[in-house]
Amino acid sequence: MIAPVRVLLVEDEALVVMMLQDILEEAGYAVVGPAGNVAAGRLLVSGCSPDAALLDVNLRGQRVYPVAVDLQEAGIPFGFITGYGIAGLDPDWRDRPTLQKPFRAEDVLRLLHGLHPSA
Amino acid sequence: MTADPPPELESLWRWLPEGGATGALIRDRDWSETPLGAMETWPPVQRAAVATVLNSAVPMVVLWGPELIQLYNDAYAQVPGAKHPQALGMPTAECWPETWDELSPIYDAVWRGKACRLDHKHLVLYRNGTAEDAWFDFSFSPLRDETAAIVGILAVVVETTGREQGRQALAASEHRVRRERRFLDTLIEQAPVGISIADAASGDAIVLNQKATELLGHGQPRNALDRYKSYKAVHPDGRPYAVEDYPTVRAMHHGEVVDEEMIYRRPDGTVVTLAVNSAPVRDPQGGAIVAAVTVLRDITDQKKAGERQQLLLHELNHRVKNTLAAIQSVAHQTLRSAPTPEAFVTSFSNRLMALSQSHNLLTAGNWEGADLRRILAAELAPYRNQNRRQVRLSGPDVYLGPRAVLSLGMAFHELTTNAAKYGALSVPDGSVTVRWEWLDPAGAPEGGPPRLCIGWEEENGPPVAPPTRQGFGSRLIQRGLVYELGGRADLDYRPDGLRCVIEFPLAELPEDEA
């Protein structure tokens, strides 16, 4: 049996986390986290080495970008989730795949497949 | 001249010059019946005086004898107006009753031997039937006979009314100009915008109103071009202004009409956004640029309001999107546990209503938070009224931030729904007690925020059995609530009644746009 792809979730909204967990687990992914803030997110990147990550841009006023930097340096693919749309994303990161809230299950899965085709 | 004079008048023609129309009137008149007597009898002095007058191009009149009988020339004939030609040979007092009181003392003085001059003398005349103002330069000299006795007055009378009217018209126009200047000066000073006028030749600001001084933060204007070197302004795109970039300079040197926004740093360091409008002023003749008028408006607040509105709209969009995502999640999870489409609609609608209720409480509190008791009271209202007294609430006043209000609101909704379906609120005798209290600070981590403990306790309901699988409610409380609040939550399915204990630190995490 092939080990499931492990996806780090960094998202502070419990309801959104719950739905993402359902979507990912039903599709055969393993969820790492979730992390509700930058510090927890960074700890999980270094400690768990996930295969991919989904990052909510705004974590209670904190920007998620330090986690994105760690992921980039570790060569781990990731995408953003945001309620602001592309315009709310720092210009440096606009080339990354981005999901706008609200989103459909197939949007999440398509994004993840793009990040990590083996899944 | 008509026919040759009769031989007896030969000598008369010799002394009397032609003298134009008035000369003819004098010559053709029979003076014998008048106080002057026939012309042949006129003494040499009178003849000489009349001859002088008729020879002159200057308005002159002889006032002869004690009655001052008038004999004048063509140039003078305009002075009496409609009184001419009757005025010729008429005593002065009879001809000019309107000026007699004023001038007779002068005639008296001249008659006593004193030549007299009046410059630009104002008189009111009735020469054309109505009163009219008139001005004259008078020169009066006595006429003496061979014995040096005074026999008449020779007067030079130059009317200066035209000059006076011109002077008055000029004065009126100067007054009007001064008045209009005052209007403009007041307008410039009172205008709620900065106004400056720069002279194109010197570059100096010849007008700089109070508001402009305030906006620019500079005192007395100095030479325009020097002044601009000391100004610190940038274009909205951040490029600094060179001297030649300033709107006033562009209007003054190139005749441009400029309308632009400028970010301007005052000498005291404050930064304002100015709307600057400059236009050249051209000479009416020739069209050369003589000045530039510049109007300045402080649009800093306007810009900020616009930005704030953009931010609010952005914020609103974000909040709506997050709320939609939350609702989507609720729908998703409600569907997982709903046995029928009807059951889905009922549960989903009730959850939506609970969420909406929390939003109402937050809106009432300006989205800063809400009171814990009011959250519970709103959710449990159907079981806590005059007919049903199944709920007891007890605890101190606790004010919760928006995130805690939303997540606790949903948690209490799940507990209430469960109690109404399977628990203490499903039977008339059942009761729910909610108690909350601050935990002993000794139990909290060093310097940590205060912790609140909320206990939900059901009694006298049907016997309780733990659920066979985790539903949305228990998942929301045990995982969602814990995740959101950073505390812990225990659900205890005791046979005599469900118990739920929620404990969390009350430091509201920095409120964000999430």
B306-334 tens-digit pLDDT: 989 988 888 888 888 889 999 999 999 99
Question: What is residue A3's DSSP assignment?
Answer: P
**Each residue's pLDDT tens digit, A19-68:** 999 999 999 999 998 999 999 999 999 999 999 999 999 888 889 999 99
Contact between residue B139 and residue B121 where contact means Cβ atoms under 8 Å apart: no
Find all residues with CB under 8 Å of B54, minimum gap 6, and list them: B16, B17, B18, B19, B20, B22, B23, B26, B73
Where residue B287 falls among pLDDT bands split at 50, 70, 90? confident
Where residue B12 falls among pLDDT bands split at 50, 70, 90? low
H or E element, residue A15? helix A14-26
pLDDT greater than 90 at residue B231: no
Provide, as residue numbers in chain B, all residues whose Cβ is less than 8 Å from the Cβ of A60: 403, 509-512, 514
Question: What is d(CA B503, CA B62) in angstroms, rounded to the nearest whole number?
Answer: 128
**Each residue's pLDDT tens digit, B166-218:** 999 999 999 999 999 999 999 999 999 999 999 988 888 888 898 998 898 87
Beta-carbon separation of B511 and A61 below 8 A: yes
Q: Determine how many CB atoms are found less than 10 A away from the CB of residue B190.
A: 10
pLDDT greater than 70 at residue B222: no
Grouping H, G, I as helix, E, B as strand and the rest as coil, residue B384 is strand
pLDDT greater than 50 at residue B512: no
Six-digit token string for B215: 């906006």
Alpha helices (H) along B86-242: 92-95, 97-111, 161-190, 210-216, 224-230
- The verdict on pTM exceeding 0.80 is no
Nearest-by-CA chain B residue for A56: B514
Contact between residue A58 and residue A33 where contact means Cβ atoms under 8 Å apart: no
Average pLDDT over residues A77-102: 87
pLDDT of residue B513: 38
Beta-carbon separation of A19 and B336 below 8 A: no
Contact between residue B167 and residue B156 where contact means Cβ atoms under 8 Å apart: no
Beta-carbon separation of B511 and A12 below 8 A: no
pLDDT greater than 60 at residue B11: no
pLDDT of residue B514: 38
Mean pLDDT of all residues belonging to chain B: 88
Question: What is d(CA B296, CA A21) in angstroms, rounded to the nearest whole number?
Answer: 59
Measuring CA to CA, which residue among A97, A78, A76 is closest to residue A86? A97
Q: Would you call B329 an interface residue with chain A, using a CB distance cutoff of 8 Å?
A: yes
The partner residue sitting opposite B322, judged by closest CB among A17, A18, A83, is A83
The partner residue sitting opposite A13, judged by closest CB among B333, B476, B514, is B514
Beta-carbon separation of A22 and B328 below 8 A: no
**Each residue's pLDDT tens digit, A57-73:** 988 888 999 999 999 99
Where residue B365 falls among pLDDT bands split at 50, 70, 90? confident
pLDDT of residue B4: 56
Torsion, Cα A37 A42 A48 A54, to 10 degrees, reads: 60
Contact between residue B248 and residue B292 where contact means Cβ atoms under 8 Å apart: yes
Q: Would you call B487 an interface residue with chain A, using a CB distance cutoff of 8 Å?
A: no
Question: What is d(CA B222, CA B115) in angstroms, rounded to the nearest whole number?
Answer: 61
Which of A9, A10, A15 is most worth mutating to test chain B (most B CB atoms within 10 A of its CB)?
A: A15
Nearest-by-CA chain B residue for A60: B512
pLDDT of residue B510: 43
Where residue B337 falls among pLDDT bands split at 50, 70, 90? confident
pLDDT of residue B226: 67
Question: What is d(CA B90, CA B248) in angstroms, rounded to the nearest whole number?
Answer: 73
Q: Determine how many CB atoms are found less than 10 A away from the CB of residue B60.
A: 23
